[in-house]
Amino acid sequence: MTRLSANLGFLWPELELLDAIRAAEHAGFEAVEVHWPYITHAVEVALVLEELQIPLISLNTVGGDLASGDFGLAAVPGREAEARAHIDKAFAYGVDVSARYVHVLAGKSSGDEARATFVENLRYASAKGEEFGVGVLVEAISQHTQPGYFLSSIDEAAAIVTDVGRPNVKLLFDCYHVQLTDGNLIQRIATHLDLIGHIQIASVPERAEPDRGEVDYPALLRQVDELGYDGFVGAEYKPAGRTDDGLGWMAAIS
């Protein structure tokens, strides 16, 4: 049975984070995940999560200077100190809210030096995670969504996770990005299942509710369940209208 997590980076954007967590639980989500929660005090978030008895699956490292085009720094040579400061900040917050994972954003770069930088920063993040009991996620993000992002192929992301060689470093398998870049979703999920820590869904190509577009998510997620995936599935989509008005898809999936 699919267990759904609400990505509050996109869902209920009109609400403050604490209210969005409550809205997600009220709508029937069994977990939440966030992008950059840092303006809300971690203790406040932890209290709401404890009250509602739902986990926080993941949060992102800070993207760097977003206004200047940064989208993470972990694969950007020469900015290792900044990248590791962001990793430290994310894990500190993650521990306070009992997050299961920190998603380490690679940033915009390319080449062998960038890859080596990313691997070393992921090993640094892995050590932090082992210290605090929090996992690390690595995501391939499509060039359509983030032009210039270091990592767009799920197969290359899997190769990097394998090279890092730490059991707490896993793939964030975002079906939207993988379908845009690689396709063959169920084949790739089956191939990389042992490395997958979290799965996310959205319609393709609109990135709206997962009840339209070219991916049949009810069928896909039944196959994922049959493969033995036992993690949460994150709803990371941009609602076509009000979030509450577009949640009818949940009945078909869960």
Residues involved in catalysis: 139, 236
Closest to 136 measured CA to CA, from 175, 173, 167: 167
Work out the angle at residue 35's Cα, subtended by the Cα atoms of residues 202 and 192, and round it to the nearest 5 degrees. Answer: 55
* Parallel, antiparallel or unpaired: strands 135-139 and 169-174: parallel
3-state DSSP helix/strand/coil % of the chain, to nearest 5: 45, 15, 40
C-alpha distances in Å from residue 108, one per residue of 76, 80, 111, 177, 239 = 7, 14, 11, 16, 27
Q: Output the CA torsion 221→147→83→192 (10° steps).
A: 30
Contact present, 64 and 73 (Cβ < 8 Å): yes
Closest to 81 measured CA to CA, from 115, 120, 126: 120
Burial environment of residue 203 by CB neighbours within 10 A (0 to 12, 13 to 18, 19 or more) = buried
Task: Write out the two tokens for 62.
Answer: 């800070």
Q: Output the CA torsion 234→239→245→249 (10° steps).
A: -40
CA distance 191 to 6: 26
